[in-house]
Each structure stands twice: as structure tokens, then as C-alpha cells.
């Protein structure tokens, strides 16, 4: 389904930890650049967060803060729909239905589940296991055509496509089959101290990531500490993961291809390159942080945007859900067919 002849774009971030420049490069930056060309929905997916224990008041605060960071990163509420997932109960209902069209074998193959089950071994709950189905519901409810994500979500998108095709084959075309949009550069920003692992907003050691809201002095310190490799050349190379990651960050934020940066920094040492990178990050984050400070001081405004967003999203979600209920044989509410 296309609205105003524009294709539908949908994405989301789970409010856990702190939004990082990995999330910014892999998701938020693309969102704000794409929103003029697509009919967009951006979700703070708080129902995903509770697969791991959360403190209730922190979760509430963080969900609002993430919405403010979406806005501060350039999401325009006049153009795009921003909302909090739990404000639209249709997500839970469709997720249940889709659970019944998902094979356990498919879920067993999800690498993120295996990683998280290891990381949170004292709380391997059923929600963690069926989380990819909730993500499928998020996407399919809105008939999304395109889903911008980082590389770590590729498998979940593939599962979404399989569930949608299976359902459509059984009941006729109900769901749009979505495409992933994974940009070639920056789809996987790595941890600063351990560049073999992805940068993770829930990392217990905050020195592994740059948060969107990190102060300039903190950015400088973290980049200075970032692991580089033996040698001194500023060159991207499969055996030099640390410097390659820093070059990727530089390239994604400046728009300068890595080959050009290698040329530009050929006479520079690691310390000099890191200083310039830190400055680039600080200057990129400065306007975002300034807008964020203003926004977070006006919670009423953010809540109004989120309420309007949830209303618009609910209307669309309900259309899909009504169709799904009918096709699978649920009895309609009498009040609804009169
Ligand atoms: P989440 O919250 O872990 O991450 C949000 C987005 O940021 C991307 N990302 C990264 N990109 C580059 N480098 C990194 N180090 C990095 N870390 C994270 C993620 O790929 C993602 O695009 N299940 C999803 C949230 C979700 C969702 C959805 C996304 C729920 N429903 C529907 C799209 C559509 C998740 O946990 O992402």
C-alpha cells in the first residue's frame, strides 16, 4: 500500500542503554535523509526492551529521551510518524497471531537470540525467543516497503519476509513483503575497545561506545583510548580492525570515501588522526545535542508528538489487523459490523 504515492518506510530502536554513534550511522542518519522520499514511521520499540529486565521509571524516561533524540537527529514530526510501540496495542495482537505462523526451527536459527541467551543467561525468557516475531509484526502492520537497519538485523528481516509470504500463501495477499535497506558503509560500527564486536548501546563498559549525548571531553577521551593496531599507517585493512573501524566512522560522518581519507592522512600518526576524528564527532553531535537539550526541557511537546503519532499509527495498524482477523476466521465485534 502506498500513501501519497510514496513507498512506506519503517524502522525502530529498542530503548535500552544509550543511543550510540553506531545507531546514528546505521539507522538515525539514514532515516532523516530518507524521510523526504518516503512515507515514514519511526518507532521507539519499548516492548522489545522488556525481554531484558528494566527499571520501570528508567524505561519510561528513556523511551521519551529516545523519541527526543530521534527528533534532535532530524526526524520531522510534520513529515514522519513518531510513536512509542506500547501505545499501539495492535503490535502485541499481531505478534501473537504471527507466532502461530512461525516455526520453532526458524527461531532456533536466530543468531541474536543465541548471543543474548548467553549474555543474559539468568533470564532466558520466552519473550527473548519470540522477539523477532514482534519485530515482524512491527513491520507488517504498516505494510512497510522498506526497512532501514544495520547489518545485525538482516536475519530478522529475512524471517519477517518468510512469515509474510507464508501467511499470504495461506490466506491471499494481506502483507506487503518488505525489503531491508542496509547501507554499504557503516552498517556495522564496531566497539572502540574490542573492534571484533559490534558497538552495542547496552554495553556495560561505556568506553566501548560514543553515546549521542556524550560531552565533547568524553568523546575526546574515548577516541583517544580506542584500540588501534600495531603499526602506524592510517589504512583500512581486514587485519587492522581498530583503525579500519575509526576510518569507517570518519568516512560515514564526513561523506569522504575511505580511500581518500587514507591519502589525506598518509603522513599522520594515530594520535593526530584520532584528534581529528574526535573533533569531527564532536561537531556532528553538537547541533543534535543542542536541539535535544531544548526538546527534553519541553516534555509536554514531546508527549503531544507521541500521542499524535500513536493515533495515526493505530489507525493504519487497525486496517491491517482487521483484514488479518477476518482472513484467519476470528468473529468480528458486533459493534464494528453494524
Ligand atoms: P537495536 O535497537 O539494537 O538497534 C537499532 C538500529 O541500529 C542499528 N545498529 C547498528 N548499526 C551500525 N552499527 C552498529 N554497531 C549498530 N548497532 C545497532 C540496528 O541494526 C538497528 O537498525 N530489533 C531491532 C529494533 C526493531 C526494529 C523493528 C527495527 C524492532 N522492531 C522494526 C526495524 C524495524 C533492534 O533491536 O535494534
> pLDDT tens for residues 122-177?
999 999 999 999 999 999 999 999 999 988 999 999 999 999 999 999 999 999 99
Q: Judge whether 335 lies within some domain.
A: no
Range of the domain at 173: 2-182+299-328
**182-234 tens-digit pLDDT:** 988 778 999 999 999 999 999 999 999 999 999 999 999 999 999 998 888 89
User: Three cell numbers at 244?
Assistant: 579500519
Q: How confident is the model at residue 49 (pLDDT cuts 50, 70, 90)?
A: very high
pLDDT digit string (tens) for 289-319?
999 999 999 999 999 999 999 999 999 999 9
Residues 90 and 174 in one domain: yes
Ligand 1 atom with the shortest distance to the CA of 156:
23
187 within a domain of the structure (yes/no): no
333 inside domain: no
Average pLDDT estimate for 86-103: 98
Catalytic pick among 114, 173, 201, 240? 201
> How many structural domains is the chain composed of?
2
Contacts of 8 (CB under 8 A, 6+ apart): 1, 2, 38, 39, 40, 41, 142, 143, 144, 145, 146, 176
Q: According to the model, what pLDDT value does residue 336 have?
A: 58
Q: Computed from CA positions of residues 113, 154, 315, 300, in that sequence, does the dihedral angle turn out positive or negative?
A: positive
Same domain, yes or no, for 16 and 162?
Answer: yes
- Condensed to tens digits (0 to 9), the pLDDT of residues 227-272 reads 998 888 899 988 899 999 999 999 999 999 999 999 999 999 999 9
308 with 265, same domain? no
Any atom of ligand 1 within 6 Å of the Cβ of 152: yes
| 96 assigned to some structural domain | yes
Contact 96, 103 (CB under 8 A): no
* Burial tier of 276 (Cβ tally within 10 Å: 0-12, 13-18, 19+): middle
> Is residue 238 among the annotated active site residues?
no
147 and 210 fall within a common domain: no
Shared domain for 248 and 316, answered yes or no, is: no
Asked whether residue 194 is assigned to any structural domain, the reply reads no
pLDDT at 333 over 80: no
Q: Which of 9, 10, 13, 192 to mutate to test the pocket of ligand 1 (most atoms within 8 A of CB)?
A: 13
What per-residue confidence (pLDDT) applies to 169?
98
Examine residue 290 and state whether it is found in any structural domain, yes or no: yes
Can you tell me whether residue 20 is helix, strand or coil? strand
The answer, yes or no, to whether any atom of ligand 1 lies below 6 A from the CB of 84, is no
> Going by CA atoms, what residue is nearest to atom 7 of ligand 1?
23
Residue with CA at minimum distance from ligand 1 atom 29? 12
Residue 21 is predicted with a pLDDT of: 97
Verify whether residue 201 is a known catalytic residue.
yes
Amino acid at each position: 500500500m502506498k500513501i501519497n504515492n510514496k513507498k512506506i518506510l519503517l524502522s525502530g530502536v529498542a530503548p535500552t542503554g544509550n543511543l550510540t554513534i553506531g545507531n546514528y550511522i546505521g539507522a538515525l542518519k539514514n532515516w532523516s535523509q530518507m524521510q523526504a522520499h518516503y512515507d515514514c514511521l519511526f518507532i521507539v520499540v519499548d516492548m522489545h526492551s522488556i525481554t531484558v529486565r528494566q527499571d520501570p521509571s528508567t524505561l519510561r524516561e528513556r523511551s521519551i529521551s529516545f523519541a527526543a533524540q530521534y527528533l534532535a537527529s532530524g526526524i520531522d514530526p510534520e513529515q514522519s510518524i513518531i510513536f512509542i510501540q506500547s501505545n499501539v496495542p495492535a503490535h502485541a495482537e499481531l505478534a501473537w497471531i504471527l507466532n502461530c505462523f512461525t516455526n520453532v526451527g526458524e527461531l532456533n536459527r536466530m543468531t541474536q537470540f543465541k548471543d543474548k541467551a548467553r549474555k543474559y543467561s539468568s533470564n532466558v525468557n520466552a519473550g527473548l525467543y519470540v522477539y523477532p516475531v514482534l519485530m515482524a509484526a512491527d513491520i507488517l502492520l504498516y505494510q512497510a516497503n522498506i526497512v532501514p537497519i544495520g547489518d545485525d538485523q538482516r536475519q530478522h528481516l529475512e524471517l519477517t519476509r518468510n512469515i509474510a509470504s507464508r501467511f499470504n500463501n495461506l490466506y491471499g495477499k494481506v502483507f506487503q513483503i518488505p525489503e531491508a535497506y542496509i547501507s554499504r558503509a557503516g552498517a556495522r560500527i564496531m566497539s572502540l575497545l574490542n573492534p571484533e564486536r559490534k558497538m552495542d548501546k547496552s554495553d556495560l563498559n561505556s568506553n566501548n561506545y560514543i553515546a549521542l549525548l556524550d560531552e565533547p571531553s568524553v568523546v575526546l577521551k574515548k577516541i583517544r583510548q580506542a584500540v588501534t593496531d600495531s603499526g602506524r599507517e592510517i589504512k583500512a585493512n581486514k587485519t587492522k580492525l581498530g583503525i579500519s573501524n575509526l576510518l569507517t566512522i570518519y568516512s560515514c560522518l564526513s561523506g569522504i570515501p575511505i580511500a581518500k581519507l587514507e591519502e589525506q592522512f598518509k603522513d599522520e600518526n594515530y594520535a593526530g588522526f584520532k584528534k581529528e576524528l574526535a573533533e569531527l564527532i564532536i561537531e556532528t553531535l553538537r547541533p543534535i545535542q543542542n536541539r535535544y537539550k531544548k526538546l527534553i526541557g519541553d516534555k509536554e511537546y514531546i508527549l503531544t508528538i507521541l500521542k499524535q503519532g500513536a493515533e495515526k499509527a493505530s489507525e493504519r495498524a487497525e486496517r491491517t489487523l482487521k483484514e488479518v482477523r477476518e482472513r484467519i476466521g476470528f468473529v468480528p465485534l458486533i459493534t464494528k459490523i453494524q
